[in-house]
Structure 1
């Protein structure tokens, strides 16, 4: 019976402990969200820069030379 009482006391979490745990978890997720937002803006900037290069324009012109993709006829 003593072991059971010790086990129950070890499981019980106070509201202060629970609040601290939730604040820590929320902080970690906030950091992950901020990292994702920064990466998104960096990728947008890189994509914009790549769209303005000649390599993309050359690829776009080459794609226009390809006939419509069906192998059996153009219906």
Structure 2
């Protein structure tokens, strides 16, 4: 008798299962939306940083120092 009662208590209906799955899927959807928003914000910040003078490729103050050394280009 206790076994029957316990087995009935553990039965999950399809409606309950559907509600649980919808709740879990909506939580993951919120996490995905937050991640996408953060990705776009980081992309915009990276673009702004790359346009500043700190990341310029050419440094005009650089001078070639290898001509004075023993590299064979005397």
Cα separation, 1, equivalents of 2:20 and 2:26 = 10
Unmatched segments (≥5 aa) in structure 1: 66-75
Q: RMSD over aligned Cα, in angstroms? A: 1.5
Cα separation, 1, equivalents of 2:33 and 2:23 = 15
Q: Following TM superposition, where does structure 1 have runs of at least 4 consecutive aligned residues deviating by more than 4 angstroms?
A: none
Question: Quick check: 1:43 aligned with 2:33?
Answer: no
Unmatched segments (≥5 aa) in structure 2: 63-74
Q: How many residues align?
A: 60
Q: Which residue of structure 1 aligns with residue 8 of structure 2? A: 9
What's the TM-score, normalizing by structure 1?
0.72
